[in-house]
Copies of this chain bind each other. A is one copy, B any other.
Amino acid sequence: MVGKIIHYTQVPRVPVTNAHKTWIRVLISKDDGAITYIMRIFEIEPEGYIPRHKHPWEHEIFVLEGEGLITMDEEEHMVRAGMAVFIPPNVLHSYRNVGDGVWKFICTIPLFPTAPEEGK
């Protein structure tokens, strides 16, 4: 087969380390031939969250379902289905489900760091 086509539910979900009630499925990875960036889906259950963290690479996100709160440095933003989010490298960010259902979003990430690492 050329390339890859898969329904996200065909990929087993695994818990995200250092997070609460949060699951990840890697949909397109370097094992599939991805050479620049990869695609994952996150599912954060009600009351779930990913605490503040940062890293020297960006995220590009698209929200599929649910309602969440994303922080970027000192800013807070409510997001919902149909919203795209760009989180630049080295920005402190966090995610929290603030709705009644599962919050689902696509999150893409480069395969390699794209900025100098800042002090940890």
Contact in complex: A37, B34 (CB < 8 Å): no
Partner of A36, one of B28, B41, B58, B70: B58
Contact in complex: B82, A60 (CB < 8 Å): no
Q: Could you tell me the distance between the alpha carbons of A1 and B74 in the complex, rounded to whole angstroms?
A: 10
- In the complex, the count of this chain's copies comes to 2
- A contacts with B: majority SS: strand
Contact in complex: B60, A28 (CB < 8 Å): yes
Contact in complex: B39, A108 (CB < 8 Å): yes
Bitwise, A60-82 to B at CB < 8 A (1) or not (0) is 10101000001011010101101
A-B contact pairs, 25 of them (CB 8 A): A2-B72, A2-B73, A2-B88, A2-B91, A3-B86, A5-B70, A5-B77, A5-B83, A6-B84, A7-B82, A8-B84, A28-B60, A32-B86, A34-B58, A34-B60, A34-B86, A35-B114, A36-B36, A36-B57, A38-B60, A39-B108, A41-B84, A60-B108, A62-B106, A106-B106
